[in-house]
Chains A and B, each alone.
Chain A
């Protein structure tokens, strides 16, 4: 899966928790979950759990701490996906 596909998947995942739908349409690497998408912090946990389920990976608490925007989240997912 390339980065563009990963961003598209992530967009689907964050969609139900996003309070700024316009920011969601313009999602890009620098999009911040809290500042841009207005996701409330209790729902950040749902985003992490959804990412774990979708990609069948485990995210530890250190990694979770860094998952505040699209590019950092994609970096963490990419590093955990099996290499092709």
Chain B
């Protein structure tokens, strides 16, 4: 019943194998019980400075608020991306960050719009709401050319890679494993490659959807 209980040890396994179509890398993140972990940030960058073919950057990303929660909870963007913060909730919010990568304060009152915020430094930006302390969101700002989040099966496919060594990092607020164990180097050659990140520690408990009730704190 107690949340966030520690897990007992499991093995770390990294399997880099060849399969699928040429130039595609498949990254899977697997929890200790063998299930894929969804919503995990995966960033892929060439291990050496060979210029890769970068994926196009979406012009603007969106971090919304609904039901007193950030939506999505985790957003991954390229350095230089502008992020809009519309408020589609029934109540007002005051979004802030005091993370080194980006510090800002954004009063998001209903009926008012704000210009987007540009994230110009790589790093993790932790978002909070000054009115609702339980609201936490994350913007993962990366300078890697390839990135995304795992699907419900815990998998992310990165197509269009030229041959070479790539460095993979995964991150999620719910992964409790040491950060040093969450990076891999994998070789992508003429054929495709797959990388499996097997987590050792149990995932941290995800906050449950909060019951709908009036927005009043006591």
* Chain B binds chain A: no
Query: A residues bordering B, Cβ < 8 Å?
Result: none
